[in-house]
Structures are given as structure tokens and as C-alpha cells.
Structure 1
Amino acid sequence: MNLTIGLRLAGVMAAGLMVASCGGGSETPNTQTVRATIVTAPADLQLLCASEAANRFGFEQTSVFATSSAQIEAARYQVELTTGPGTATCVVEESGTIVSLVQV
């Protein structure tokens, strides 16, 4: 009878060790997310760039639109544009002055 109790106890202990090793770890999941903080150009400046690109390069207003933008200096933004058959890059100041506009 002691042998039966000993085997049962050993079985219970082995099962307990298996359960403990499966998921009871003290590791905490990494919940931090790495994100870049990008300041985009205000919508009115993006539209200004798109309008100027359409006028300057001879595209219809409806075929030019901003695809992305980012602040490149304290009061300057770079706006990437799709211009029908290609792309353009516009650098615009916060005041609305277009510094450069080039087809890429």
C-alpha cells in the first residue's frame, strides 16, 4: 500500500512540475511600442502645394494630391505629391510661401 501511495504522490508532483513550467513564468510581456513622432504639414499647406504643382506643371487640379508630409525645420514642411503621371516634392513655409517645388 505504501508503494501505491508513493507512486501516486510522485505522479502528482510530476504533473505539478509540468504545469508550473508551462506558463507560470514571471516574465512580463513587452508592451512598449516604438513609434516615431512626425509632425505633418497642416492641410491648408498640403493643398497649397498640390494647387501650385497643378498650375506650374500643367496638370488638372483633380490629378494632384498630397501623399505624405513632414516637418523638416521649425517652420518648414516637405510635402510629397502625386501628379498624375509622376511625383513632386514641395517645401513650404508655415506662412504659405513655397520655397521649392520640383518634379521627381
Structure 2
Amino acid sequence: MKTILPFVFAAGSVALAGCQSSPAPENMTRNTMQTAPADLQLACATAASTKFGADHASVLPVSSSVLDGGKYQIILEAKGQRSTCLIDQAGTVLSLEKA
């Protein structure tokens, strides 16, 4: 019995080591920042394809964030070239510049 006890203890320790609790969704890093709505990201992508002469399908939003005053900053990429779009809630592109 004495020789079995260390093996039982070791097996129990390994089983408990795999048990971890995950953070609540509201505490996860991914959920702490608001992003721009999809329609505003699309409006920026369309504006960039027009302004820079890129194929519409090649302009993709890679990140976005909320700014003060109901504005959004959207980072776009087309064939390795990045640009920054500033857009308001109504979908008006306020600025669009290559990064």
C-alpha cells in the first residue's frame, strides 16, 4: 500500500494541474476595446480604393478604434501599403492618409 500511495498522489496532482478557470469574457483583452462598426469600416475601404486607385477587393481594414466625439480611426491595408481613415458615426470620411 505504501508504494501505491505516491503514484496515486502524483496522478491526482497532474489531474488538478490541468484545471484552470478562464477569465470572464468582459475581462478578456479582446473585449476591452470598441471597434468601428462594419459599415463604417467598409465605407473607409471604399474611399481608400477610390482615392488611391486600388482594387476594392484588395483594401482590407486591419484594425479600428473609437475616438472621442463619436469618431473612429480605421487602419486599412492594400498590397502591403497602410492608410489611416478617420470617419464619423454618420459615415462621413473626415480624413484618409497613407501611413
CA RMSD of aligned residues (A): 2.5
Matches within 5 A, 1:86-97: 86-97=81-92
Matches within 5 A, 1:1-12: 12=1
Aligned residue number for residue 21 of structure 2: 31
Deviation at 1:24, TM superposition (A): 3.0
Partner amino acid, structure 2, of 1:43: A
Distance, in Å, in 1 between the alignment partners of 2:47 and 2:4 is 73
Which amino acid counterpart does residue 28 of structure 2 have in structure 1? R
TM-score, normalised relative to structure 1 = 0.68
Moved over 4 A (4+): none
Q: Which residue of 2 aligns with 1:14?
A: 3
Q: Return the TM-score normalized by structure 2.
A: 0.70
Change (3 A) 1:84 1:14: closer
Alignment: residue pair count: 92
| Structure ID, larger Rg | 1
Q: Look up the SS of the partner of 1:23 in the other structure.
A: helix
CA shift digits 1:19-61 (9 cap, x unpaired)? 3421334x67321236221322111101110111122222232
Q: Which runs of 5+ in 1 are unaligned?
A: 1-11
